[in-house]
Amino acid sequence: MKRLVGLAMILSCSAGCYGETVDSGHMALLYDPHDGLQRDPLGPGYHRLGVCMPFAVCKHLEDFDITYSKHQEEVRTTSQEDLALDLHVAIRYRPIVSELYLLDTEVGENYYDEVIQPEFRSAARGVISRHSYQELQKNNQKIEDEIEDELRRRIKGKHIEISAVTLESVQYAPEIADTIRARLVGEQEAIKKKTQLESDALARKLEIERNAEEEKMKTEQLERQKEADRKVAEEQAAIDKVKAETEASVEVTKAKADSESRKMLAKATEAEKKAEAQSVTPLEVQMHAYDALGKLGGEGTTIYLGDWSHAPAFLFPPATAMYGGGGMASPYHSSGYQAPQLAPPKVEPPKYK
């Protein structure tokens, strides 16, 4: 009896309360040997689990890291040309918090090794085999997206979230590396040559444009000069026209003045002739006739006219005819000859058109 009491005392002293701590960024599920795995997850902190007797199955926590984790995998595969490639591909993932109970019961805590790793390798090899080795350098993002989509399709319903897949490095076989290196050198030379040709073409284009602009400016300058010359010519023509019209107007005015002057002179001459004609007497006519006869014979010449060497009787009219009657006889004629009467000469005035 004393032995049984001592054993009970020893067991009660060794038994006691205990608990576990959940770190930050982690969540846990409580496993009870009597009730099984609990569905509600426990957050960060210390959790009391109760009393655990020695040699008994006690409660415990199954811990899950709910932050994003990163794993890098080395994948050996072949390209579309059946060339060997060694890839270093990284994946970021984490469990879905609301599905921790299903993940633990269906997959387990070691879900990366059980699900993600094999599916990830298989998805990477399948995608790479559909592309050529040249595309791995040009289309990295496209290939990464294809691997990511393929992996998500494969682990759908496994309660795991895939954040990203990155293709970190690609290692080629030595012969492929030499080929790629030569190709890159050729591409760089081609790019350099293309750049030089484009630069030369651009320089020629700029020169042609500059020459065209200069020609355009010269043409525009000539056009402006022609326009200025045309305006000057028009202005000069207008000035010449005004000058000609002025000179013509002056000439017309002068001609009109000359015409009026000639008309006035003609009228004055006509009036003078008329006055002179009206002032000539028969005696003056007779005297002018004798003067004319004298000038015709010259100095010292005696002229006898008419029958009996007498002067024409008409030149010596009776005094009565010349002076309107009277008893006085002509001093140059003693006969009874009656001379015709003379009318004063009629002077016609000049006619002007």
Q: Mean pLDDT, to the nearest integer, of 230-259? A: 87
Exposure b/e, 333-347, CB count within 10 A at least 16 = b: beeeeebeeeeeeee
Q: Bridge partners of 59?
A: none
pLDDT-derived band at 306, boundaries 50, 70, 90: low
Residue 296's pLDDT band (cuts 50, 70, 90): low
pLDDT exceeds cutoff 50 at 172? yes
pLDDT digits (tens, 9 = 90+) for 109-142: 899 999 999 999 999 998 988 888 777 777 888 8
- Range with the lowest mean pLDDT among 86-95, 167-176, 221-230, 335-344? 335-344
Distance CA 167, CA 186 (A): 26
> Distance between CA atoms of 123 and 128, rounded to whole angstroms?
9
Domain boundaries, the chain: 9-65, 69-172
152, with CB counted inside 10 A (0-12, 13-18, 19+), is middle
CATH number at 69-172: 3.30.479.30
pTM surpassing 0.85?
no
Mean pLDDT along residues 291-302: 65
Angle between helices 140-154 and 117-128 (to 10 degrees): 140
DSSP string over 279-320:
H--HHHHHHHHHHHHHHHH-TT-----SGGGPPPGGGS--HH
Per the CB < 8 A criterion, the answer to whether 130 and 82 are in contact is no
Say what the pLDDT of residue 321 is.
46
